Each structure stands twice: as C-alpha cells, then as structure tokens.
Amino acid sequence: MSAPLLEVRDLRTHFLTRAGVAKAVDGVSFSLGRGEILGLVGESGSGKSVTGFSLLGLVDPPGRIVGGSIRFDGRELVGLPPAEMRALRGRRLAMVFQDPQATLNPVLSIGAQMALAVRAHEAVSERAALARAAAVLARVGIPDAARRLGAYPHEFSGGMRQRVAIATALLHGPDLIVADEPTTALDVSIQAQILAEMKSLAAESGTALIWISHDLATVSALADRVLVMYAGRIVETGPVGAVLRAPIHPYTRGLLDSLPAMAAPGQRLRQIPGTAPSLLAVPAGCAFAPRCPRADAACGAPPPEARLPDRLALCHHPIEVAA
Amino acid sequence: MSGFWREYAENRIALLALLVVAVLVGAALGAPWIAPQDPYDLAGLDLMDARRPPGHVGSGGYVHLLGTDAQGRDLFSAILYGLRISLQMGLVAGAVAMSIGALLGILAAQAGGWVETAIMRVVDLQLSFPAILLALVLVAVLGQGKTQLVIALVAAQYAYFARTAYGAASAERRKDYVEAAAATPLSTARIVLRHVLPNVMPPLIVVGTVQVANAISLEATLSFLGLGLPPTEPSLGMLIANGFQYMMSGRTWISVYPGIALIVLIIAINLVGDQLRDQTNPRLRR
Amino acid sequence: MTGLVVAEGLTRRFDPRLSLGDRIAALLGAAVETRPVRAVTDVSFVVRQGETLGLVGESGCGKSTLGRMVAGILPPTSGTVRIGGAPVMRGGRKTTTRIQTVFQDPFASLNPRRRIGKIISEGPLAHGLVTRARVPAFVAEWLARVGLDPAVATRFPHQFSGGQRQRVAIARALAMKPDILVCDEPVASLDVSIQAQILNLFLELREALGLTCLFISHDLSVVRHVSHRVAIMYLGRIVEVGPAAQVYAAPRHPYTRALLDSVPRLRLDDAAVSFRPIAGELPSPLAPPPGCAFHPRCPRASERCRRERPELAASAEEAAVACHHPHEDPVA
C-alpha cells in the first residue's frame, strides 16, 4: 500500500482563553488514503471542527496548534509559513463550511468570485476561468450553470449556495476536501440531493473527503470510515458499517442508543447520563468515565488501545464484539 | 458582577478614567469642605486679590493654588464649585432625558403602527438637527436659570436615548423569552417592565454615560456664550468665559485651569462609557 | 370524533413591512416586494385528548407559524383555534392558560436577567396558581420533576448548558398546569445525547401529567418517536395526516413518500447507500404554484394537478391525504 495522503500524529490544538487553556484537540492521530471518505463524528465541543480547521491552518488566535504533526502528501503542514499554506489551500486542500454565507462574497457575482479563486492559483484567462467555473457548477447539480454565473449569492437558495461553495472547493481538483457540517443548516430533501452528489463526485474525481458532522446517519450514508471524537480526543475509529453495527467504545454505543430511530416509538431511549465535560477541565484518564456505565477505578488512567482488525478504540473496558 | 468588574479593571486606561471621575465627583461633593473659599459669598471676595497668578498668597492668608479671577475669587475654589454645578446639570439632565427617552423608545417599539411612526419620525427629525442649536433656541425663549437649562438640555438629548431604547426594545421584543411571556400569558405592562426594560437598560446606561459628558459640555458651551446659568452660580463654562478677555494679557490661568478641569472630566467620562460599551456589546467580546 | 384542540380554517398572511421610502420607491415603479407571504393557508385539524400530534415539514412550510397560532402567540389572519370549545385568543390576546409552549432555542427563550426560580414561578404567581408563600417549595418541586437540583433556583440562565435550559423551559411551561403543550422544535438545537435525555423527560412527563401535545419538528425520526398521529405540511398546507405508524410505513402523499426517502438512514451493513432525493427546490411562498403546490416536483403530477388544488378530507378524519393521485391506502 502506498503512503497515505494525510497522516495526522498526536495533533494538539489548544485555545488560551481568559478562563484557562481549552484543549479543543488533544492528541488526535489518524490517517487518510487517497479518495477515501472519512466521517468525523462528535457532539458540540468534541473538537471535530477544530480538527478540521487545524488541517487547513485555519485556527485563529487565541487557538494554536501546540503539538503534533500533519503530513499531507509527504509534506509537514504544522509550522508551514502562512504564504506556503495559502498556496496549498484552495488548490490541493479545500474547505466547505456549514454556513456558505461565510465564504461567499455578497457583492461579487458567483462567476466573478469563482474566477478569482481559479486565478489565485493559476495563470489563466478570465474566459477560461469562467468556463472552468461553469463546468464545476454543472457537476454539483446546478442547472443552467453557465447562465447563472452572473447571479449574486443572495439570488440563490441555501442549498444552492452550499452547492456553489462545494463547486468552489472543487475548482482546482484538490486532493482533500474538509467539509464542516455542510448539510446541517439544510432541509432533508436538499441534504439528500447534496449527499448524493458528494458521493458521486468523490467517486469520480478521487478526491479524499473529511466529512465533519454530528449526524451519525449522514456519515454512515457517505463515509468509508468513521472517527468518533469526545472531549478533544478520539474514542473510536474503523469502517463505518462495522463501527455502527457493533461499537467497541461505550460512548459510541451510547450515541447510537440516543437516536430515536434505535428504539420503538414512544419507548424510553437509552440515554447517556450527564453532560460533556468543559474543555477547560477534561477529566484525567478517560474523559468519558463520569458518564460511562462500564467505568470503574481503572478509568482514572489514560485508556489503552483496544484493537480489532482495521478498528481501534481507546477504552479500559471495551465492549466485546466478534471480530 | 465580580467578573464584570475584573474585566473592567483589565483595561488600565478605563480604570484610570474611572478613578479620575471618582476623584472629580468626590471633589465636587466635598467642595464646601475642601475649598478654601466660598466663591458665591460676594462679601468674602476682595478686589485687591483680583487676577493674581497661581501661588499668590491673598488677603485671606492662604495660597491661591490656581490663582484668582477678575473678581478676586480663588480659582481652585471656583473650579470645585463649578464642577459641582456642571456635574449636577449633567446628571439631572441626563437622568431626565434617559427616563423620557426610554419611555418614548419602548412605547414606540411596543405600540407599533402609527404611534411608532409618529414618535420615531419626530426623534429622527430632531436627531438631524445639531443639539446645540435646539438648546440655544430654547434657552433664548425660556430665559436663564437652572430649570430652564435642564429643560433645554433634556430637549436636546432625549432623542438619543429614545433611539437607543427603541432599537434595543425592538430587538428584545422579537426574542423568544418575550414571546414566551406573552404565551403564558402575562400582561403587557408586566412584560414591558419586568422583561423588556431590564434588557434595554445596559445600552441605555452606556449611552447615558456619554450623554452626561455631552450635557456637561453643552451646558459649558451655553454658559460660555452667556446663555447658561446666571453669573451668581458660575459653572465651568462661565469661568472659562470670564477669563477669556484676559487671555491676551497673559493672565491665561483664569480660563485655562477651568478648561483643563472640564476637558479632563469629559474625557474621563467618555473613556468610562467606551469601556462599558465594549463590555456590554457581545460582538466585541472575546 | 371531536378533539380537545380544534383548529378550523387557520390562515396567516404576513404583509411586507414597507417603510416610507419603500412605498415611494414602489410608487415610482421600483421592484419592491408588496405581495403578502402566505405562511399558512386554510389549515384545519384536531388534537384529541391525551394524543400527541406531530407536525412535520421543511423550513418555510409554515409549521412554526401554525404552532404559534395554536399556542395563542400569533393571531390568525382568519380561522379559529378552540380548546374544549373556548377560543384560545380574543381580540389579538391570549385568553387561556390551558395551552403552553416550549420553544426551540433555550438560549433565547429564557430571560437572561431573571433567576431560574423567578422564570418558573412568574406565570403561576400572576395567574394565582400558587401563593407567594408557597413559591420556593413550588419551584423546588418543578426543578426536581425536570431533573434539576432544586438548589439552582437562584442561578441565572447563562450558568446552564443547553439541555439544562431546555429542562427549565419545560418546567416553566408545565408549572402553568396546562392541558396542552405545544413543543416547537424542542430538541433541534441540542446534541444527540442531550436530545435523548430531553425526549425521555418529555415522554415521562407527558405520561405522568396526561398531556395533549402538538409536537413540531423537522426531524422525522424524532416526530415518529413521540407522536401518535402526524401531519405533514408543504407550503403552508397540511398534505397528509394519519396515525404515525401508518404514515411512516405507507405514506400516501407523494411528498410524504419523497421526504421519508430523503432521510439518510443509519447504515449498519457495508452495502452501498442509494439516495432518492426529491427533485427541485421549494417554490417561493410569495407565488405558490397553481393547483397542487407540489406538482412541479411530483413524479405523479398530471394535468389536473396543475389546475385544481386537491383538498384534504374533513379535519376530524383519522387519516386523510390531499392528493389527486395518492399512493394506495394500505387499510382500504
């Protein structure tokens, strides 16, 4: 097997706030192959979005990558000068945000801003840039793309704007797209359209995708592998089907059992008690222990790796599953 | 509350400004005890002491720290008493303007329809005039005196409070907690007094701080022009005006020291107001 | 069949708020939007005693507007809502405490400057449901019932997490001793694990207090979990209503079917997932399509659908669908 496209080792991104050090990402390691789709799942405050932002060097002060390494196609990204990071970002690495408003300039037409994005990295004519923009817009399912290049962001619906954001990410045929909750703000029918398009786009173009979401169902529909985060750390990772069918980590189990779809209508859900810890005061040892039904004294120590073929969980008392 | 104070104290300049305001207010309150002379007691004045430079030992047997004015008043004492009047005018006018403005603003936001249109059109119209112009006209019509001056200052300033209260109240009214109160249901009076008003207060207090400073400078301007308070109760503006004719003759202290006192007071209040604004504006919070 | 809550012909229009400048511009021929938005059009339904009716639809379908009219927050442009025969609103003001509301965003629905105890006791005190002397015990009782430590009564909302605030909001609504609860997306802003806690609490209290509920959500699985019957809304109208199990298992309206097909399901095997999204986008509520509003996106649309609007059968029916070409009724 060739070297992975992305190799993250012991990534630590901390926020130095007034109230103390918030360890948003605290020792995250994973790797990603070319064309692979990784679902990054967690609840708010789990560090999933900060992980995504860290990969693209988009962490703003008071946040800072304080340790670890991100190797992208053999190149170290942690500590890369901003200018080099910018040259990489948009061309080989791209990001799609939850709110497309944040990335679209309201006073420029869609065509104009996409052409700018093309010409930021390549010396091509305006005409060629616009032609490229029209082509990618058509690929993300925008009908009559060439004519709509002259439209402004406010003339598009939320779903259409998110399509434009995805198209912009695709402009340079990047090796990796990081998408942070890209369909959370959209209606189910529009979400389904975008998921369907993402799936075929990833398959056609061979672009690797990190899909960050709180929604296990969208991740299960799209991703090859899933990575579950809790309080800034990875708790479990493995192939999506296997992990969701038979999770090893009690948190993953609890998350699944919290879904209404997992219980008969009207029946009590098997809830996880309590709330996630503050990132300013993550418990020593296993961060999930205070809410965990399987926890005991041993959980005060950092959890060991529980491995199955192709799977990993960090837990003292992993759930037994048939390998 | 302690967190609010700690955050305030982190800004050294704002802390210094607050200290300055406190010292000036304290000096104004304590004027009868601190001041070596009662500047209003005309019998205590001696023309022999007129226009003496700072440091002069006058007929009273004490040092005129900041010199004396044309009537032989001790300037240090006059400034303390002037501060007293300026602050009094500023605070009274600010408080009355805030009450009237808040009432009108909240009423407009709550009532909607033609009431809202009528109130806010008048307010907008007035905001498009310079405040000083309105105050000048009113004082000219009403005549001199403390009450007349307060009326003029309030008339010139309530519109700022009304605008702020209207903006804040319209924003609060659309929030779910007001809707939740209406859905209980609670009476409109209760919703306005217990729910909307407390949430409108922070921006009003911020505007209020700045408007107190503005009222003081407006009053000083009017007094400087001879339209403010009667000469028997000299405010800072009048002290500056009184000394103005001696500027060219080198007796600059008569105008300069009251001027410095006025500027320091206004800048300090504004700095306090800026810090309060920054701290109550969630968008500026880190 | 009669209901505890009876909504008849509810319609809500929102006229655009035109400023003086807009009016002048419109007079001079500028493109100022003067058409009213029809958020809800001619909606009738009943909620029976002890029943939870789930109201589902995508954003802009009018489900929240409908919920606010039922809760007595928003006066309808026309139509009435009655509880046990008595209207919820009279002259633009709510006249009953029998129906209470839990809002979507617990960060916005609690007054940031009031203590938790005050938030819970204010309504009952104002309506004489509790004496001033009994307030501390009353508040403690309700905090305990929603799973909070009674000692938190003196704290402010910002000291709580989203889930805890939603518990306070539920306590505030239930402390009014309502017969009916309107829940407007009560778990939409919460994390999955917290959402489960709040849903459990809801089911528990509904059972214990014998509540009748209108449960509004965009989340089909949440609605399925809590509802006895469901109503599906599209562009301001109810297009299908029926027992939850029946509607989810065998939807009759093409829109309901398409909506259910759009929801990504948890994949527990390694098989590839296929999506069957609905084509196209929601039309503008400023200019809804003539005939059936869903016809431009509907695979079964015919010429008749373009001309003639299908009516929903009488509101008191157990199940009904507003469609000229519905899917087979599995019961019939």
How much is the pLDDT for A48? 93
Cβ-count burial of C115 within 10 angstroms (0-12 exposed, 13-18 middle, 19+ buried)?
A: middle
Domain ranges of chain C: 242-331
Residue C216 has pLDDT above 70, yes or no: yes
Give the contacts of A131 (CB within 8 A, at least 6 positions apart).
Answer: none
Judge whether B181 is closer than 8 Å to chain C, CB to CB: yes
pLDDT mean across residues, chain C: 88
How much is the pLDDT for C316? 55
- DSSP letter, residue B256: H
Residue with tokens 């033609």: B114
How much is the pLDDT for C67? 94
Q: What percent of chain C shows pLDDT beyond 70?
A: 95
CB contact under 8 Å between C266 and A220, yes or no, is yes
Cα-based distances in Å from C189 to A30, B130, C100, C104: 29, 47, 20, 7
Judge whether B285 is closer than 8 Å to chain A, CB to CB: no
> In this structure, is residue A260 part of a structural domain?
yes
The structure tokens listed for A316 are 């003292």
Q: How many residues does chain B have?
A: 286
Dihedral of the alpha carbons of A48, A51, A56, A60, in degrees to the nearest 10: 100
Mean pLDDT of C247-275: 82
Instruction: List, in sequence order, the alpha helices (H) in chain A.
Output: 48-55, 82-88, 110-121, 126-139, 145-148, 158-170, 188-205, 216-222, 240-245, 250-257
d(CA C106, CA B176): 9
Domains and CATH numbers, chain B: 2-284 (1.10.3720.10)
A295: CATH: 3.40.50.300
Cβ-count burial of B12 within 10 angstroms (0-12 exposed, 13-18 middle, 19+ buried)?
A: exposed
Judge whether A259 is closer than 8 Å to chain C, CB to CB: yes
* Contacts with C270 from chain A: Cβ below 8 Å: 239, 241-242
The answer to whether C187 touches C24, Cβ cutoff 8 Å, is no
Give the contacts of A64 (CB within 8 A, at least 6 positions apart).
Answer: A13, A14, A15, A16
Residue with tokens 């609007």: C309
d(CA A272, CA C114): 30
CB contact under 8 Å between A157 and C282, yes or no, is yes
pLDDT, tens only, B186-201: 988 899 988 999 889 8
What residue type is A204 in one-letter code? E
* Contacts with C73 from chain B: Cβ below 8 Å: 179, 182-183
Q: How many residues does chain C have?
A: 332
Q: At how many degrees (to 10) do helices C192-209 and A250-257 cross?
A: 50
Residue A318 C-alpha, separation from nearest chain C C-alpha, in angstroms: 19
Residue B231 parent element (H or E): none
Residues in B 221-260 with any Cβ partner in C closer than 8 A: none
The answer to whether A274 touches A290, Cβ cutoff 8 Å, is yes
Closest residue in A to B285 (Cα) is A18
Judge whether A243 is closer than 8 Å to chain C, CB to CB: no
How much is the pLDDT for A308? 86
**CA neighbours within 13 Å on the CB side: how many for C123?**
26
How much is the pLDDT for A158? 82
Closest residue in A to C197 (Cα) is A271
Q: Which residues of chain B have pLDDT under 70?
A: 1-2, 281-286
Residue B267, SS3 per DSSP: helix
* Contacts with B286 from chain A: Cβ below 8 Å: 17-18, 62
Mean pLDDT of C22-44: 80
Q: What is this model's ipTM?
A: 0.86
Mean pLDDT of C52-64: 91
d(CA C185, CA C187): 6
d(CA C180, CA C72): 12
> In this structure, is residue A266 part of a structural domain?
yes
Question: What's phi and psi for A213, nearest 5 deg?
Answer: -160, 155
- CB-nearest partner of B199 from C72, C113, C176: C113
- CB-nearest partner of C224 from A160, A254, A265: A265
Judge whether B286 is closer than 8 Å to chain A, CB to CB: yes
Residue A307 C-alpha, separation from nearest chain B C-alpha, in angstroms: 42
d(CA B216, CA B234): 13
Judge whether A62 is closer than 8 Å to chain B, CB to CB: yes
How much is the pLDDT for B285? 46
CB contact under 8 Å between C192 and A189, yes or no, is no
Q: What percent of chain C shows pLDDT beyond 90?
A: 59
The structure tokens listed for C272 are 């590839």
pLDDT, tens only, C6-19: 999 999 988 877 77
The answer to whether B195 touches B173, Cβ cutoff 8 Å, is no
pLDDT, tens only, B111-157: 888 889 899 999 999 888 888 888 888 888 888 888 888 999 999 88
How much is the pLDDT for C330? 64
- DSSP letter, residue C293: T
Residue A217 C-alpha, separation from nearest chain C C-alpha, in angstroms: 4
Q: How does DSSP assign C151-182, residue by residue?
A: GGGGS-GGGS-HHHHHHHHHHHHHTT--SEEE
The answer to whether C139 touches C121, Cβ cutoff 8 Å, is yes
How much is the pLDDT for C173? 95
- Total domains, chain A: 1
Residue C11, SS3 per DSSP: strand
Residue C18 C-alpha, separation from nearest chain B C-alpha, in angstroms: 12
Question: What's phi and psi for C12, nearest 5 deg?
Answer: -135, 125
Q: How does DSSP assign A252-271, residue by residue?
A: HHHHHHTSGGGS-TTSPP-P
* Contacts with A249 from chain C: Cβ below 8 Å: none
Judge whether B175 is closer than 8 Å to chain C, CB to CB: yes
The answer to whether A314 touches A233, Cβ cutoff 8 Å, is yes
Judge whether C59 is closer than 8 Å to chain A, CB to CB: yes
> In this structure, is residue A162 part of a structural domain?
no
* Contacts with C197 from chain A: Cβ below 8 Å: 271-273
How much is the pLDDT for C269? 67
The answer to whether A205 touches A173, Cβ cutoff 8 Å, is yes
* Contacts with A188 from chain C: Cβ below 8 Å: 58, 218, 220, 259, 262-263
Sign of the dihedral defined by the CA atoms of residues C175, C179, C184, C190, in that order = positive
> In this structure, is residue A13 part of a structural domain?
yes
Tens of pLDDT along chain A (323 residues) come to 467 899 999 999 999 887 889 999 999 999 999 889 999 999 988 999 999 999 998 898 889 999 999 999 888 999 889 899 988 888 899 999 888 887 888 899 999 999 998 998 888 888 899 999 998 888 887 878 888 888 888 888 888 888 899 889 888 889 999 999 888 878 888 888 888 888 888 888 889 999 999 999 899 989 999 999 999 999 999 999 899 989 999 999 999 999 998 889 989 998 899 888 888 888 888 999 999 999 998 998 999 988 888 899 999 999 987 65
Mean pLDDT of C147-162: 90
How would you classify the pairing of strands C99-102 and C180-184?
Answer: parallel
Judge whether B63 is closer than 8 Å to chain C, CB to CB: no
> In this structure, is residue A202 part of a structural domain?
no
Dihedral of the alpha carbons of A193, A197, A200, A206, in degrees to the nearest 10: -150
d(CA A45, CA A85): 26
* Contacts with B186 from chain C: Cβ below 8 Å: 122-123, 126
Closest CA to C217 of C201, C195, C200: C195
> In this structure, is residue A31 part of a structural domain?
yes
Sign of the dihedral defined by the CA atoms of residues C237, C240, C244, C250, in that order = negative
Judge whether A127 is closer than 8 Å to chain B, CB to CB: no
Q: How many residues does chain A have?
A: 323
Judge whether C192 is closer than 8 Å to chain A, CB to CB: yes
Judge whether A61 is closer than 8 Å to chain B, CB to CB: no
* Contacts with C94 from chain B: Cβ below 8 Å: 182-183, 185
The structure tokens listed for C128 are 């004489």
How much is the pLDDT for C142? 95
Residue C332 has pLDDT above 70, yes or no: no
* Contacts with A192 from chain C: Cβ below 8 Å: 261-264, 275-278
The answer to whether C182 touches C213, Cβ cutoff 8 Å, is yes
**CA neighbours within 13 Å on the CB side: how many for C319?**
17
* Contacts with C277 from chain A: Cβ below 8 Å: 189-190, 192-193, 195-196
d(CA C110, CA C101): 12
The answer to whether A203 touches A36, Cβ cutoff 8 Å, is no
Which residue range forms the structural domain that includes residue A57? Answer: 6-82+175-184+207-314
The answer to whether A182 touches A193, Cβ cutoff 8 Å, is no
Three state DSSP letters for A201-253: HHHHHCCEEEEEECCHHHHHHHCCEEEEEECCEEEEEEEHHHHHHCCCCHHHH
The answer to whether B236 touches B83, Cβ cutoff 8 Å, is yes
d(CA C221, CA C225): 6
